[in-house]
A and B are shown apart, each in its own frame.
Chain A
């Protein structure tokens, strides 16, 4: 399981955007594109999820996950993967 705080911690570290954490739950459905999280930030997020929590999100998959909620669902609800 991955919770939103763990994910936001990683996202804010990877993007260098400390404000991301402060946005709390509001951030769940914000699109990565609108947060400025480009492909390099998402690749780094994928690497950190693997490193810290042994969670595997292949690079080509994380590029297609548009929001923090989509990442949480991918990790926590295996049935959501198709």
Chain B
């Protein structure tokens, strides 16, 4: 018998699924897969059923050509993002993809945790329903994307404004109640710093959310959580999530008051070897952030998105997913068998 031929190919990269959060939502996000992929469709329908009467409103708002005015509100954006993220991830896994790592941004982390088995999908849907009830008491406000480093931004912060997310070396998201957000935006623009409002109507990742959850936490049920069966990175801790923290409800209910350190977390993850990042949710915001990391620039990591960058033609979603799946094979993934 011949000796096995040494494989000339480089080590297989670790496959990372990433899930975007608030701000990534858009009209009819991923809706091109609805009624096309059986897996995607059944996950979405399961979510709409579980949300009860609100589910019908969510479904109509999601599929409407012109989104309802409250589409960026927590009541629409977060349950839909959770459902779409979970449905995309489930579709990939049912196609045969075996992710090595799961990582989400903001509410995307709940989808990552669901696919890692920390929550069952039903448990996650129930938490989202209750969570919307809690955070409808949040003050009005929002988030502002700023093209500057955390250090540069700090000099311009006004009372009530915090850094809600660090996305990249020169991209932070500020979070604040309404008036303070307008003040800091004016100050930044006055100083010649580029900024852009994120699609959010509440001050997420702001300490004010701690008071909201403290006042209304009684309405949250807390079924037992399970240690992740797949490596789960947290953008709140910046590293792999230990079982003890993953199964602690306080860690999850505290997240809307804590900053998201997605940029540093991603860099930490990518420093451990070759990675293939697949964004399994609407838009390409996380893929753009990943493509600006030194690891991608050096060719040690690759980032691709399953869905188009923005809303497009009806066939754009399915075409984008097909193209991404073809690319995955080129990067050393096992061939997948999608259900469409």
Contacts and interface: CB of A to CB of B under 8 A. Distances in A.
Contact of B284 (A15, A18, A33, A41): A33
Contacts of A43: 147, 194, 196
A38 B288 CA distance: 6
B291 interface: yes
B-side interface mostly:
mixed
Contacts, number: 57
A36 B289 CA distance: 6
Contacts of A17: 292, 297
Contacts of A20: 297
A2 B291 CA distance: 25
B265 to A, nearest CB: 16
Given A16-B169, A43-B194, A47-B192, A38 B294 contact: no
Interface in B266-313: 284-285, 287-292, 294, 296-298, 303, 309
B181 interface: no
Contacts of B285: 38
Given A38-B285, A41-B147, A15 B292 contact: yes
A6 B229 CA distance: 49
A36 B167 CA distance: 13
Contacts of A44: 147, 170, 194
A46 to B, nearest CB: 8
B43 interface: no
A15 B290 CA distance: 11
Interface residues of B, number: 24
B33 to A, nearest CB: 21
A35 B147 contact: no
B192 A16 contact: no
- Tier of interface size on chain A: 20 to 34
A19 B294 contact: yes
B296 A36 contact: yes
A53 B88 CA distance: 45
A47 B284 CA distance: 23
Contacts of B147: 14, 40-41, 43-44
A55 B291 CA distance: 27
A44 B297 CA distance: 21
Given A35-B291, A37-B288, A16 B168 contact: yes
Interface in A1-39: 13-20, 33-39
A81 interface: no
Contacts of A39: 196
B145 interface: yes
B37 interface: no
B145 A40 contact: yes
Indicate the member of B170, B284, B303 with the most A CB atoms within 10 Å: B170
Nearest to B196: A40
Nearest to B298: A19
Nearest to B310: A39
Contacts of B169: 16
Given A40-B196, A47-B194, A14 B170 contact: yes
Contacts of B170: 13-16, 44
Nearest to A43: B194
B171 interface: yes
Given A19-B297, A41-B147, A36 B171 contact: no
A11 to B, nearest CB: 11
A51 B291 contact: no
9 contacts: A14-B147, A15-B168, A16-B149, A16-B168, A19-B298, A20-B297, A36-B290, A36-B303, A40-B147
Q: List 10 A-B pairs, minimum CB-CB distance, nearest first.
A: A36-B291, A19-B297, A16-B169, A44-B147, A16-B170, A38-B288, A44-B194, A36-B292, A36-B288, A17-B292
